[in-house]
């Protein structure tokens, strides 16, 4: 890893920059599935395994046959109660031969454990990526001289109250009373504790809340922060994310926006997110909208790839699919994701990623310009919230109505797809 940052394209170096920073932010508790970090397909905790409650007995039985050969001792069951015990977390002791968590799972499955019964605890990141892909939005935030958001605020007649929870990096409280960003009045959330020196991913949740409010100005918005104070470097483990999603439901949201996701071992559905949906979300009239990811490929990106989730890819302002946008199973629909302009904290930001490492950007207008599927997703979340408010329909019906407004288009790279074109409201 020491010299990988010197090798290959800016894209590969950028991915390596991101991974180095991410691992440092999480005190080394980040591993990946390839030798060169720029080639990774998924990230995971180096010592954790997640198991469905129904498969615990089979997992422990399989581990007993393995511990003498590979494990120094049997896996330790974590005391954390996840989703009322429906999900169980184990910690592996050091492996005798240095086997990784995926190596151990390979051995357990070769010994008869059902594939999918157990999983690494994957890292979910702000629009993470894969080989030569991105761990974060398509670009770092850019200064702008613009004073108005884009897409602009869409006037809305007062309707029924609708609640949206943005599960993200936290909230910048001054934006709610800043005369430069009046569309964010009344928004609340977990303070991300910004100072004059802005951390990576600072303002991400605030920017997304701004996109929701521009599309649906009368919507009640709360920003749940999973990376307060920069902890985690903008990422969270799957098993911790579902705790935040469960907490988000206490706000009785009609829509949850998650501009983050992950690849997984063998591209299997994310185990914690599947359990969260089965035990929590499907019992509620609540729609989850998620970013499709910024890796320019069709591999499943969770939760966007789930059939029960609305996965959103990115369009450029000319209506073409953005070159960074994921497509295929992770993108049910595409919406503007390139060059959004919205609320952002004032302060000094030093770029961390190739080719802009060391570039100093000073934000002083309460606004920024940003691109990525992270910002296409809240546009769709806002449209769903607006439909609920104006018609009084269910969240599920509003989702269907919004998606029905999309038009079919075709692209030689990704083929036929559905687009929500401007104007959006």
310 near 412, Cβ under 8 Å? no
* pLDDT tens for each residue of 219-260: 999 999 986 655 556 789 999 999 999 999 999 999 999 999
pLDDT in tens, 368-415: 999 999 999 999 999 999 999 999 999 999 999 999 999 999 887 888
Q: What is the mean pLDDT of residues 102-117?
A: 95
- The pLDDT confidence band at residue 10, using thresholds 50, 70 and 90, is confident
The DSSP output letter for 130 is -
100-139 core/surface letters (b: 16 or more CB in 10 A; e: else): bbbebbebbbeeebeeebbbbbbbbbbbbbbbbbbbbbbb
> How do beta strands 87-91 and 76-77 pair?
antiparallel
Within 13 Å of residue 319, how many CA atoms lie on the same side as its CB?
13
Distance CA 389, CA 377 (A): 19
Contact indicator for 190, 224 with CB cutoff of 8 Å:
yes
- Residue 161 CA, chain-centre distance (Å), reads 26
DSSP 152: P
For residue 133, pLDDT over 50 is answered with no
Residue identified by tokens 């997703």 is 377
The helix (run of H) or strand (run of E) holding residue 381 is helix 373-391
pTM for this predicted structure: 0.94
User: 305-361 pLDDT, tens per residue?
Assistant: 999 999 999 999 999 999 999 999 999 999 999 999 999 999 999 987 778 889 999
Q: What's the rounded Cα separation, in Å, for the pair 267 and 280?
A: 23
Alpha carbon 257 to chain centroid distance? Answer: 9
The stretch 40-47 carries a mean pLDDT of 94
First-residue to last-residue Cα distance in the chain: 48
Partners of residue 260 on adjacent β-strands? none
Q: Check residue 233 and give its pLDDT.
A: 66
Three-class secondary structure assignment of 7-51: CCCHHHHHHHHHHHHHHHHCCCCCEECCCCHHHCCCEEEEEEEEE
DSSP H helical ranges for 98-189: 101-110
Cis ω on the peptide bond leading into residue 320 (within 30° of 0)?
A: no
Sorted by where each starts, the structural domains of the chain and their CATH numbers stand as: 163-419 (3.40.50.200)
What ranges in 177-261 are assigned the alpha helix state H?
Answer: 204-215, 238-248
**C-alpha distances out from residue 113 to 4, 61, 78, Å:** 36, 9, 20
Q: How far is CA 377 from CA 259, 290, 350, in A?
A: 7, 6, 26
Please enumerate in sequence order all residues whose Cβ is within 8 A of that of 376, keeping only pairs 6 or more positions apart, or say none: 291, 292, 312, 313, 314, 315, 325, 334, 335, 336, 337
Is the distance from CB of 260 to CB of 127 less than 8 angstroms? yes
pLDDT in tens, 256-305: 999 999 999 999 999 999 999 999 999 999 999 999 999 889 999 999 99
How much is the mean pLDDT over the chain?
91
Q: What is the mean pLDDT of residues 165-190?
A: 97
Render 75-126 in DSSP notation, one character per residue. Answer: PEEP---BGGGTEEEEEPPPBTT---HHHHHHHHHHTTPPTTSEEEEEEEES
Radius of gyration of the chain (CA): 21
Q: Is the pLDDT of residue 198 over 80?
A: yes
- Res 2: pLDDT: 47
17 pLDDT tier (thresholds 50, 70, 90): confident
pLDDT digits (tens, 9 = 90+) for 65-86: 887 778 878 899 998 889 999 9
- 3-class secondary structure, 116: coil
Q: What is the pLDDT of residue 72?
A: 78
What is d(CA 199, CA 43) in angstroms, rounded to the nearest whole number? 22
């Amino acid at each position: 890893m020491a010299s990988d940052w010197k090798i290959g394209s800016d894209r590969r170096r950028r991915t390596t920059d991101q991974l180095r920073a991410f691992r440092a932010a999480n005190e080394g508790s980040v591993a990946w599935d390839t030798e060169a970090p720029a080639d990774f397909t998924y990230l995971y905790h180096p010592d954790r395994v997640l198991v469905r409650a129904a498969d615990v007995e089979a997992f422990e039985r399989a581990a007993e046959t393995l511990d003498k050969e590979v494990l120094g001792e049997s896996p330790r069951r974590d005391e954390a109660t996840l989703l009322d015990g429906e999900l169980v977390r184990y910690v592996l002791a050091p492996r005798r031969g240095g086997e990784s968590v995926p190596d151990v799972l390979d051995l357990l499955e070769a010994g008869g454990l059902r594939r999918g019964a157990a999983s690494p605890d994957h890292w979910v990141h702000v629009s993470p990526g894969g080989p030569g892909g991105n761990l974060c939005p398509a670009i770092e935030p850019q200064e702008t001289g613009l004073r108005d958001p884009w897409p602009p605020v869409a006037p809305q007649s007062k309707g029924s109250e609708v609640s949206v929870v943005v599960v993200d990096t936290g909230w910048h409280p001054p934006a709610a009373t800043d005369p430069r960003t009046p569309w964010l009045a009344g928004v609340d959330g977990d303070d991300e504790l910004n100072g004059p020196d802005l951390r990576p991913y600072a303002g991400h949740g605030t920017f997304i809340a701004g996109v929701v409010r521009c599309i649906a100005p009368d919507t009640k918005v709360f920003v749940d922060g999973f990376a307060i104070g920069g902890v985690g470097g903008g990422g969270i483990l799957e098993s911790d994310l579902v705790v935040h999603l469960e907490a988000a439901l206490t706000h009785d949201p009609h829509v949850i926006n998650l501009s983050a996701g992950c690849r997984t071992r063998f591209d299997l559905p994310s185990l914690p997110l599947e359990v969260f949906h089965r035990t929590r979300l499907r019992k509620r009239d609540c729609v989850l909208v998620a970013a499709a990811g910024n890796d320019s490929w069709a591999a499943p990106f969770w939760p966007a790839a789930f059939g029960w989730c609305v996965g959103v890819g990115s369009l450029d302002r000319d209506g073409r699919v953005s070159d960074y946008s994921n497509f295929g199973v992770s993108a049910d629909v595409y919406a503007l994701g390139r060059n959004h302009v919205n609320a952002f904290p004032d302060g000094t930001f030093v770029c961390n990623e190739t080719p802009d490492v060391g570039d100093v950007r000073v934000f002083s207008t309460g606004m920024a310009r940003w691109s990525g599927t992270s910002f296409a997703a809240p546009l769709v979340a806002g449209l769903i919230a607006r439909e609920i408010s104006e018609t009084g329909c269910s969240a599920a019906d509003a989702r269907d109505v919004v998606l029905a407004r999309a038009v079919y288009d075709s692209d030689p790279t990704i083929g036929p797809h559905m687009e929500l074109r401007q104007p959006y409201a």
